[in-house]
Chain A
C-alpha cells in the first residue's frame, strides 16, 4: 500500500536508491505490487563525471528527478487467486521510462508475481526471482 509520501527502495541499477511516491497513476489512493506510480528520487548513487561508456549509461538518474516507477514489492500483504496471502519485508520499485519500459538493465532481488498477472513482462524477465 504505497500512497503519497510513501518511500520505496529502488532495486534496479538505474542509480537511484530511494524514491518517494507522489502520485498513484491508477487514480486509487494506494498502489500495490504491479501498479505504476510517479515518484521523486530522494537518494541516488553519486554520478561520476569521469566514467565513460557503458558505466555512465547505467547512471541515469540523480537526486530530485521525477520519474515513473513500478511497485514490485510491498510490505502490506497481497492476496493471490488461490487464497494465499504474501508479503515482503520492504517496499520496492523499479524506475520506468516514458514508454513504460524499465529504466535500468538489471533488477536485484525478489519480485512479486503480481507483475506477471498485470502484464509487466519486461520487468519479470529481468528479475532474478519471482515469488
Chain B
C-alpha cells in the first residue's frame, strides 16, 4: 500500500524522509522505525501497529494503556517527566498599543495626559472664571429682554401651519 503523505503534525505518523513513515505504536505510543514491529488488522478493518510483542500481547489481552506505567499515554496523563518542558516555556506578554479615538487625535490625547498638574489646575481655574463671566452676561441680557416675552410666546407647530389651537381639556 503506497504510503499516504500526511502532514508532519499528524499524531499517528511522522515522515522521516519522502518514502518512509515513522509510525507510533497503538499501545505504548513509542515510535516504530522501519522493519520493526507488527501490524494487526482487525475484522472491522481497523489496523493497529505494535512496536514489539509486549505491546501486542498487552493489547490483545485488552489491557488499558492508561494504567500501564511505561506507556507514553500513562506518562502524559500522570505528567511524568514534563518539568523540564515547563521550565523552558516563557510566558507571553501582551503589548499595549496607544491609539487615537474618533474625534480626538493621538496628539491631543497625549497632550492632555502629559499635562502638568499645576497647568491643569490653572486651566481649570480659567475655565471656571470664564463660565462665571458667561453666566453674569447671560443674567444681564435676560433682564433687558423680559419685555419681549409676549413675542417669545410659544407657537405650536400646527399653529404655525395655520390651524386653530387645540381645545384645552376640561375633564380627566
Contact = CB atoms under 8 A, between A and B. Distances in A.
Interface of A: 73, 77, 82-90, 109-110, 113, 129-131
A86 B38 contact: yes
B35 A84 contact: yes
B112 interface: no
Interface string B1-45: 100000000000000000010000000000000111111111101
B47 interface: yes
Given A82-B20, A113-B1, A129 B38 contact: no
Contacts of A90: 43
Interface residues on B, range: 10 to 19
A85 B39 contact: yes
A131 B49 CA distance: 13
Interface in B30-72: 34-43, 45, 47
A84 B36 CA distance: 7
B41 A88 contact: yes
**Secondary structure at chain B's binding surface: helix, strand, loop or mixed?**
loop
A84 B20 contact: no
B35 A82 contact: yes
B56 to A, nearest CB: 10
Contact of A87 (B1, B20, B36, B40): B40
A131 B41 contact: yes
6 contacts: A82-B35, A85-B39, A86-B40, A89-B43, A109-B45, A131-B45
Contacts of A109: 43, 45
A77 B38 CA distance: 8
Contacts of A110: 41, 45
Given A82-B20, A110-B45, A129-B45, A87 B39 contact: yes
A129 B41 CA distance: 12
Contacts of B1: 113, 130-131
Given A84-B35, A84-B37, A109-B45, 19 more contacts: A82-B34, A83-B35, A84-B39, A85-B37, A85-B39, A86-B38, A86-B39, A86-B40, A87-B38, A87-B40, A88-B41, A89-B42, A109-B43, A110-B45, A113-B1, A130-B1, A131-B39, A131-B45, A131-B47
